[in-house]
Structure 1
Amino acid sequence: MAPEVKVPLLEGRGATPAQTLGNIVVSIVGTGVLGLPYAFRTAGWLAGALGVAGAGAATFYCMLLLLDCRDKLREQETEENGLGDEQSRHGDGGNYTYGDLGERCFGPVGRHFTEAIIVLCQTGGTVAYLVFIGQNISSVLPALSPATVVLALLLPVEVALSFVRSLSALAPFSILADACTVLAVAAVVKEDVQVLVERGQPFAGRSAFAGLWGVPFACGVAVFCFEGFCLTLALEASMSNRAKFRSVLLQAIAGVTVVYVGFGVCGYLAYGDATRDIVTLNLPSNWSTAAVKVVLCVALALTFAVMMHPIHEIVESRLLAPGGWVRRRGRFVERAALHLSRVAVVATLAAIACFVPAFGEFAAFVGSTVCALLSFVLPALFHLRVVGPTASTWARAVDYFFLLSGLVFAGHGMYTVLSPQ
């Protein structure tokens, strides 16, 4: 099995419900929230709100499917190995990563496919970070336009940070990024409220339903916003009382969904058809707005290495496979290969970001394709494989609904990108 990726906020055991609630929120909320007003502009404020609420409910349900799969596998393990319930519940053998579920369900092919989807999903998130940084810094410092200039200057910093192999050392940067995201959201909401007060009639000239094709776009952005799906099992394992995790998870998803809906509606009502794909670009050009953008971009640049860690782990586990060419060439070649692989991965992502035209469209594409596969298709597929034989007809029908809907959603996302405009 590939090594389990540890998350700084989840190291150790014994987290209280309050700590777990905070960890869930930190793992979910990311830069995608700043693209929600643009998604609401595309779909309409009511359609967008329903899309975000639906994405939140579907995410919560599919997270429960993963937990059900883990519980069933743990139960089977107890019966096969004769472990006591306490050993199975708290021992290392009872904890599974997302890749472990893939392997238990479909063998090595299942693990490889699951890890490939995780890599693609993390790649989409990190590229979105770079696009976000490039567009915002270019708006503050026009001398650094186009955004590719910003990315070229940023590349050496990200390569240097990629050599920091300790997640514990990078954890403060991740927390700083989330704090800055909260600051940016607060600054945007403050401006939104001022604009709405000046307008007097917030819903005048704003579409509740902008058209059928706008709904999948809004759902794609919403799915992208619910980051951290592959951390569900680790979050549950970090609790001292795992029986309370489901209720804590419900509180977190419900709270984040309400914030997302409110933020998206307010942003669209304030700026209407002028809403940008990154709503911070709608803020007035003054020193406070510039400060918010710069601080947010610096924090994202620093936490970029944390987002890259799962990719590096999976790539390096393949590069350093026992008996492989690198292993046979000695310690020096091994260390050189590790460093070169990290440089190559970061440089490749920066190059991809240079060709991404807009943050909003890219976030919708990633959300409706690889994120949909990771969040809906794989959990439903695993649940049918592990729990399906003993599940009720209704439960299997819901699993098939999420499986087919996720595939159709991903197919629509691919068609939208590949079809001629």
Structure 2
Amino acid sequence: MVCAAGAALYTMLQLVQCYERVHCGYGEMGRRLYGRWMERVVMLSIVVSQLGFSCAGAIFVATNMRDLFNAVTGCAHRMPLWFWVVVQMAVLAPLCLIRHIKGLSGIALLADVFIVAGLVYVWSVDVATIGRLGLSYTRNFNPDSYALFLGTAAYTFEGYALILPIIDSMRHPEKFPLALALVMALCGAIAVSIGGLSYAAFGDSTQANVLLNMPSKTPATLAVQLLYSLAILFTMPLMLFPVIRILEQALFPRRSGKRNPAVKAQKNVFRTALLALVIAVSVAGVDRLDRLVAVIGGSACVPLSFVYPPLFHLRAVAATSRERLRDALVAGAGIAASAYVTYGAMSRWGVSEPPYDFCDVV
């Protein structure tokens, strides 16, 4: 995970160097350096990754809400997991109709507060569990699911579509590399500590959604599950926002609904249909959260992270044969990793492992 964070930081800085030479967005950068086909490939990867993030978020929320509902009702009225995926449409549909990302900023800030509270709770439970019961049985290396892990690592540190807009909006863009390094170090530390401590505490029973390993029915666990679920639910419209913008520009070129009610209605129908597609895919992968994350990581996040940036750097920045060779090797390694992770995740797709449900134990 540390190596993945370091490699992601390296290619992010490569993208920053390219931006200094070719002052434009990620997709347009691909068009200027390689042609329109590269722009389409980059935009497709962004669309797939953001849609995948939304699907994974919907499944995460569904597992938490099911566990929360069963704990409160004492398993008296058990609902299938797919129900908790579909019911999210009631909240997400109105939010996805918001036209400007600024309208979602307050919700996103509140979601961040909930996420921090959840992280602190998981840390405290992990440490308390290890202190009370000692270390659980752990394996240092699991070859059967290593591809899933690599895909999850790429998924964890993928945020390339946002790098260039952030730089463009900064008052002092020259400070971005240092800020980026600090943020990546912080994210890496959180990922390693949460994953490592949780696995040390719960061993082979560790769930892909670690909140399901927290003490059942305690007020603290129920509150964290509710707040964290709301946090992910409220950030899903932000995940879909870039996809909506990209696809609307392709489907409704130079057509605005600001003064045309018919166009506005068509865009509303499109946004609702896109959300329905996300929910449908989430239902299909509801028992396979770890594999869904790995498929997204391998097919979209790895290319965005470790293939396109070195290829762009090769064409826009690299001045010596050594730099060009290095960029070619990094891009080749990224292509190999993408194929390995995607194949490994798809080969395990048929293995259904429903998340832990304490009703089955009680």
Q: TM-score, normalised by structure 1?
A: 0.76
Aligned to 2:306: 376
On the 8 A contact 1:380/1:402 being kept in 2, the answer is yes
Aligned to 1:62: 11
DSSP 3-state at the match of 2:207: coil
On the 8 A contact 1:173/1:303 being kept in 2, the answer is yes
On the 8 A contact 2:294/2:345 being kept in 1, the answer is no
Q: RMSD across aligned C-alpha pairs, in angstroms? A: 2.0
Aligned to 2:91: 157
On the 8 A contact 2:148/2:344 being kept in 1, the answer is no
On the 8 A contact 1:180/1:299 being kept in 2, the answer is yes
Aligned partner letter, 1:366: I
Structure 1 position 366 matched with structure 2 position 296? yes
Matches within 5 A, 1:150-229: 150-200=84-134, 202=135, 205-211=137-143, 213-229=144-160
Instruction: Name the CA distance, whole Å, in 1 between partners of 2:116 and 2:150.
Output: 22
Q: Match for 1:279 among 210, 216, 223?
A: 210
Aligned partner letter, 1:283: M
Instruction: Name the CA distance, whole Å, in 1 between partners of 2:326 and 2:110.
Output: 39
DSSP 3-state at the match of 1:141: helix
Q: Deviations over 1:263-305 (max 9, x none)?
A: 2110100000110111000001112101111111122222221
Gap change, CA 1:151 and 1:214, over 3 Å in 2: closer
Alpha-carbon deviation of 1:243? 2.0
Structure 2 gaps, min length 5: 71-76, 351-362
Q: TM-score, normalised by structure 2?
A: 0.88
Instruction: Name the CA distance, whole Å, in 2 between partners of 1:419 and 1:289.
Output: 34
Alpha-carbon deviation of 1:229? 1.9
Identity of aligned residues (%): 27
Matches within 5 A, 1:269-418: 269-285=200-216, 286-322=218-254, 331-356=260-285, 357-388=287-318, 390=319, 392-418=320-346
Q: Match for 2:173 among 234, 242, 245?
A: 242
Runs of 4+ in 1 over 6 A off after TM superposition: none
Aligned partner letter, 1:53: V
Q: Deviations over 1:321-376 (max 9, x none)?
A: 24xxx78xx93431221111001000010011001122222212211221001111
On the 8 A contact 1:369/1:409 being kept in 2, the answer is no
Structure 1 gaps, min length 5: 1-51, 74-93
Q: Deviations over 1:7-66 (max 9, x none)?
A: xxxxxxxxxxxxxxxxxxxxxxxxxxxxxxxxxxxxxxxxxxxxx111101110111111
Gap change, CA 1:219 and 1:414, over 3 Å in 2: closer
Matches within 5 A, 1:47-58: 52-58=1-7
Instruction: Name the CA distance, whole Å, in 1 between partners of 2:309 and 2:46.
Output: 13
On the 8 A contact 1:127/1:349 being kept in 2, the answer is yes
Alpha-carbon deviation of 1:144? 5.3
On the 8 A contact 2:148/2:345 being kept in 1, the answer is no
Instruction: Name the CA distance, whole Å, in 2 between partners of 1:214 and 1:231.
Output: 30
Aligned to 1:20: none
Instruction: Name the CA distance, whole Å, in 1 between partners of 2:148 and 2:347.
Output: 15
Structure 1 position 109 matched with structure 2 position 109? no
Instruction: Name the CA distance, whole Å, in 2 between partners of 1:129 and 1:415.
Output: 22
